[in-house]
Chain A
Amino acid sequence: MNSQTKKVMVIGGGIAGLTAAWELARAGVEVALVEKAAFLGGHGIQYACKATDECQQCGACGVEKMLANVIDEPRIRVYLAAEAAEVTGDGPFTVTLRASGSQPGAVDAACGQGYDKDPGACAAARGYSVHNAVFYKADGGFDPDRVAAPETVTADAVVVATGFTPFNPDEKPTYRYRELANVVTGLDLERTKRIYGEVRRPSDGAVPRKMAFIQCVGSRDERLGHLWCSQACCPYALRSALAARHKHPDLDITVFYMDIQNTTNSFDAFYEKCRQSLRFVRTIPVDMYETEDGGIRTRFMAEEDGLPVEEIFDLVVLSVGIMPGADNPVLAGTLGIELGTEGFFARPDLLNTSATARGGLFVAGTAGGPMTISGAMASAGQSAAAVLHYLGRA
C-alpha cells in the first residue's frame, strides 16, 4: 500500500475527527485537520469525569488522551477557527479553507490572575484542556508554528467528522431554559463539573440538595419530527447522577424517562446500582415554574395511580439530545453529498457505514448519526480504515 505520499483532510476536531486523524497519521498519511472552533476536542473535551469510586466508562478522559496523541503527531497539520468554503475536483479534491470567525480567548487576560478569579473564562480561553495550550501564544492569538492559517489544500480523500449540534431547549419553551437560572442542559452541567469539580446550581453557586434529570429533551420527539434516540443521554445522565451522589451522598436525584437505554456490557450491574440510589419516574414533565428561592416546581403524573404530583427541585437538568450539525445542509452542498431523512450525513451502505455516496468522501462520528464516545471512536477507526482502503486502490 502506497499511502505514504497521500494526504487526507479531516473536517472536525472532536473525538471522531481526532481519532480518524490520528489513525491515518499512524498509517503514514499526511493529515490536514480542520476545526471550526478555536480549540480541538469538540464537545467531549468539555465533559467531566463521571467516576464514582470506580470508572464508569464514559470516555471523557479518552478524548483528552486522543487530543494528546494528536498534538504529538507531526503528520497532522492543524487548522483552527477554519472551515471548508469550497471543494472542487473529484479525488484529489481541492479544498479552500476560510476563517470560521471563532476567536481564541485571551489566555493571559482570563487566567493571569489565577484560575479561581473566573474559572469559566479561564477554562474556555484554554480550550478546556492542557493539551490545547500548545496552540496559543501567551499574549493571545494562535501560535503560527502550531496552527496553520486557512489556505487551499489538496486532499486525496476527505473525512467529514463535524459532529452534532446539541438540541436547543428553546424549541420546547415550557422548560423556560433561558428564563429560569436553575434549568440547565446536560452540557451546561458537564461544563460546570469540569470547571468547578462538582455540581452547582447557577442561581447561587450552591450544591443542590434535590435535582432532576429529564430525558429525551429533543430526542424521540414525534411532535418535533425527531424520530431518533440520541443514544448518549441515558448513559451521560445516569453516570452523572451516580457521580454526583458519590460526591454528595445526601443529594436526592430523580430521573424522568421514557425508556432507559444501555451503557456498556456492565449495564446490568450499573443499572441495578442506579435503581438503588436514584428515583426513576417513567414520565416526562412539561411545565416549569420558579419558586421564591430559585427552586423549580414541576408537575407530573405519578406512575402508580396516574394522579398528578407536584414537586420542587433545586436544579433541573435537561438531557438534551444529539441533533444534526447546524452546518450540515451547507457543508453537504459544498461537498456534493446528501443528507439523510433525519438531517445527518447519509450513509447509504449498511456494509460500510463510513462511506458516503461519493467516492473519496467519508463520514465519521455523530456527523452520520447519534452515537456515544466509544461509538464515535469505532466509527472513526472504520473511516480511517476505509480511507486507507480507498487510497490503496486509487
Chain B
Amino acid sequence: MTAKLETAMEQIEIATGVLVVGGGMTGVATALEVAQQGYPVTLIEAGDQVGPAAESRPRTGLPDVQRLNDMAARLAKTDSVEVLTAARLDAAAGVAGDFKVWLSTAEDVLERRVGAIVVAAEFDTTPLFDAYGLAPGESVIGQSEVERRLAEDPRAFADKTVAFVAGFAQNGNPLVMQRIFHSVKALQAGGAAGVYVYVGDLKVADDGLERQYRLGRDGGAIYFKLRQAPAIAVSEAGAVIGFHDPVVRQQIEVAADCLVVEEALGVGPECADLAAILRIDIGPQGFLQSDNIYRFPVATNREGIFVAGASREVRSLPWALADARNAALRVAEVLGDGTRLVPRDKAVVDIGKCTFCLTCYRCCPHGAIYWQAENKPVISPVACQGCGICASECPMDAIQIGGFSDEQIRSQIGAKLADVNGDPAIVAFCCQNSALVAGEMAAAFRMNLPAGLRTIQVPCAGKIDLQYILDAFVSGADGVLVMACHPGNCKSERGNTYAGWRVEDAQRLIAGAGLEPERLRFATLAANMGTDFQAIVIDMEQKIRDLGKSRLR
C-alpha cells in the first residue's frame, strides 16, 4: 500500500553473538532457543546459580521442577553458550548488529561484541504488610512465607485456620491470585481446618484460574469478595477478620490462626540500571517496555534489544517461555546469516552541513545514531526505523531520509494542488502508519470525501517539517491537516508529539501572515478507522468553507 522506492542496497556484516541478561528460566529458555538457531550466546546472571534456583518467581503451580533443572543442565552442556554467574552488564555501546558490551564478573571485566541483546529479568516480590497496617509476626505472614512453609512441610498448617487478604493494597494480577489458589490447594491437602480468602477483584484472566478457584471452593475454601479491606485485629492467638455484609446485614467475623498477606510482583531492581545502560524506554510500573502496540510482544524502542518475561510484564511461566521463543525469533531476524542487505540512503547525514550539535542523537527514539572517529555522526541503517524525526529536527537540514527527502516531499505539494479548482484545497500530511491507511480505506470504501483533499504520505508525523506546512499554504492550500497516530501509538514513540509542537509553531507563523490559525489542524487517528478519517476531513472542509478562500491562494 505504501510507496516503495527502488534504492541502492549495500551488504553489511552483522555480529552474530547474542547477550542474554538474566539466568532464571526466561533467560535459560531464551539462550537455549537462540543457541539452537546456531548463534553463540553469552548469558549473564547476577546470582551464583542459573535455572529455577536463580528465580524469585514463585514456585507454585509450575511444571515439574525436574524439567526446569534439566533445561538448565542442557544449557550448561551447550558448547555455544557461555554462562557467566555473579556477572553484570556494566556498559553497552553501538547499535543492532554491532553492540559492544562490557561485563563484570567477580574476577574480571570482559568485553564482547554481539548483534542482539535479550533482557530476561526476574520478578521482585514485596509483601504488603504496611498497606494493611500489619507487621509480620507469628500469626501474620507473607505469601512467600506460606509457600516456603508448605514446601518444607505439607502439613505445616494441619488443623489450623488460615486466611488470605489480597486485592486491597494493590489492584493485583492473575499471578497473585494463582499463588493464593495453589496455597489454598496445598493447605486443603495438608489438613488445614479452614481456609478463608478476602479479596477485592478476583483476577482470574489467565489459563485455568477460574477452574482452580472453583476447585478451592469445592475443597471447602470460603471466598469473600469485598470492595474494601476487612477490619483485621491481630493478637498472639491469631487474627480476627471482620466485615459488614450488606446483603445479610450483619457483621461477619472469622478467627484465623494465621493471616497471609498478599505480595506485589514487580520488576526487578536491576531493571532501571539496565534501561539506562541499554538506552531503552521504561514503561508503566518500571517495566522495560513502553505500553505501545508496536512493541508487541518483545520489542523495545531499539532494534536488536528485546525484553522477555518479567522484564516486560507479570505473567505466569508459560507466557514467559512464550516470550523467550518470540525473542529468539526476533534475534534471528536481526542476525540472519551474519550479513544483511540495507538501503544506502535510509537516513544519510551530510557531513558538510553537520555542526555536531547532537540534536539528532538526542531526539532519535530508536537509539540508531552513533559517533565515529573525527566527530562523525552515523545513522545505522539496521537500527534506523526511517521515521525522520532527526531530519526534521536537524537545525542545519543535514539529514535526508530515503524516499522522503525534503525535495521529494516539497515537490509533491504544489503538484498535487495544481488540479484543485473551485473546492476548498486541503493538504493532509498523513503518517503512513495510521492516517494514510485510514484515508485509503475511506477512499476504497467510497466514503464521501472533499473533492479538494490532497494527501501526502510521510513515514511518521515526526517528519512533517514546519517548512512543509508553510509551503502548502504558499502553494495555495486553503487548509492544512497534520494527521498523526494517537499519543501512545506512535511507532517512533514521539513523532506525533513533535508534529503537534510544529503545528502550534506554524499556527503562530500563519497568524502572523494574516491567515486564520484554524486553517491548520492537528488530528490523531488509527489506521483501521476510515470513518474517523472521513469525519476529520469533512469537518475541515466545512471550516474552510466558513472561512472562505485563503488570502494566499
A residues in contact (CB < 8 Å) with B: 1, 23, 26-27, 45, 47-49, 51, 53-57, 59-65, 68, 72, 111-112, 114-116, 122-123, 126, 129-131, 133, 194-197, 220, 222, 227-229, 231, 234, 258-262, 264-269, 271, 282, 301, 303-306, 341, 349-354, 369, 374-375, 377-379, 381-382, 384-386, 388-389, 392
Contact A115 B447 (CB under 8 A): yes
Q: Which residues of A are found within 8 Å of B296, using beta-carbon distances?
A: 59, 62, 374, 377-378
Q: Chain B 512-527 against A: per-residue CB contact (8 Å), 1 yes, 0 no? A: 0000000000001111
Q: Which residues of A are found within 8 Å of B332, using beta-carbon distances?
A: 27
Contact A265 B313 (CB under 8 A): yes
Whether B457 is near chain A, meaning CB under 8 Å from some CB there, is no
Q: A374-B296, A381-B297 are contacts. A261–B203 as well, Cβ < 8 Å? A: yes
Q: A68-B437, A229-B205 are contacts. A61–B528 as well, Cβ < 8 Å? A: yes
Contact A197 B446 (CB under 8 A): no
Contact B445 A196 (CB under 8 A): no
Q: A130-B444, A305-B246 are contacts. A55–B528 as well, Cβ < 8 Å? A: no
Q: A23-B329, A133-B444 are contacts. A197–B205 as well, Cβ < 8 Å? A: no
Interface of B is mostly: loop
Show 17 residue pairs from A and B whose CB-CB distance is below 8 angstroms, ordered by the A residue.
A27-B329, A27-B332, A53-B486, A114-B446, A116-B447, A129-B441, A197-B534, A222-B214, A229-B205, A262-B174, A262-B203, A262-B205, A266-B284, A268-B285, A353-B207, A369-B207, A385-B326
Whether B440 is near chain A, meaning CB under 8 Å from some CB there, is yes
Residue from the list A61, A130, A194 in contact with B489, Cβ < 8 A? A61
Q: Which residues of B are found within 8 Å of A115, using beta-carbon distances?
A: 445-448
Give the residue name and chain of the B residue nearest to A341 (CB).
Answer: B211
B residues in contact (CB < 8 Å) with A: 1, 33, 36-38, 62-63, 67-68, 71, 171, 173-174, 201-211, 214, 225, 227, 246-249, 283-285, 287, 289, 291-293, 296-298, 312-313, 317-319, 321-323, 325-326, 328-329, 332-333, 433-434, 437, 440-441, 444-448, 485-489, 524-532, 534-535
Contact B214 A227 (CB under 8 A): yes
Contact A55 B486 (CB under 8 A): yes
Contact A353 B437 (CB under 8 A): no
- A83–B473 CA distance with the chains assembled, in angstroms: 54
- A110–B545 CA distance with the chains assembled, in angstroms: 31
Contact B326 A62 (CB under 8 A): no
Q: Which residues of A are found within 8 Å of B489, using beta-carbon distances?
A: 51, 54-55, 61
Number of residue pairs across A and B with beta carbons under 8 Å? 227
Q: Which residues of B are found within 8 Å of A196, using beta-carbon distances?
A: 531
Q: A231-B205, A304-B246, A382-B325 are contacts. A51–B526 as well, Cβ < 8 Å? A: yes
Contact A55 B444 (CB under 8 A): no
Q: A23-B329, A55-B489, A61-B293 are contacts. A234–B283 as well, Cβ < 8 Å? A: no
Q: A68-B437, A116-B448, A222-B214 are contacts. A378–B205 as well, Cβ < 8 Å? A: no
Residue from the list B36, B203, B247 in contact with A306, Cβ < 8 A? B247
Residue from the list A116, A350, A382 in contact with B326, Cβ < 8 A? A382
Q: How far is the CB of A290 from chain B (nearest CB, A)?
A: 29
Contact B526 A60 (CB under 8 A): yes
Q: How far is the CB of B309 from chain A (nearest CB, A)?
A: 11
- A115–B298 CA distance with the chains assembled, in angstroms: 39
Contact A48 B486 (CB under 8 A): no
Q: A197-B534, A353-B318, A381-B325 are contacts. A51–B206 as well, Cβ < 8 Å? A: no
- A176–B131 CA distance with the chains assembled, in angstroms: 45
Contact A303 B227 (CB under 8 A): yes
Q: How far is the CB of B432 from chain A (nearest CB, A)?
A: 10
Closest 4 CB pairs between A and B? A197-B531, A55-B489, A49-B526, A385-B325
Q: Which residues of B are found within 8 Å of A264, using beta-carbon distances?
A: 284, 291, 313
- A354–B210 CA distance with the chains assembled, in angstroms: 21
Contact B247 A55 (CB under 8 A): no
Contact B487 A55 (CB under 8 A): yes
- A227–B211 CA distance with the chains assembled, in angstroms: 5
Contact B528 A129 (CB under 8 A): yes
- A282–B249 CA distance with the chains assembled, in angstroms: 17
Residue from the list B329, B433, B434 in contact with A384, Cβ < 8 A? B329
Contact B211 A385 (CB under 8 A): no
- A31–B202 CA distance with the chains assembled, in angstroms: 41
Contact B329 A306 (CB under 8 A): no
Give the residue name and chain of the B residue nearest to A374 (CB).
Answer: B296
Q: How far is the CB of B165 from chain A (nearest CB, A)?
A: 16
Residue from the list B285, B333, B486, B534 in contact with A26, Cβ < 8 A? B333
- A61–B525 CA distance with the chains assembled, in angstroms: 10
13 additional A-B residue pairs with CB within 8 Å, beyond A51-B526, A115-B447, A264-B291 = A51-B489, A55-B489, A61-B489, A63-B528, A194-B528, A228-B211, A229-B204, A234-B205, A265-B291, A350-B318, A351-B67, A353-B207, A392-B37
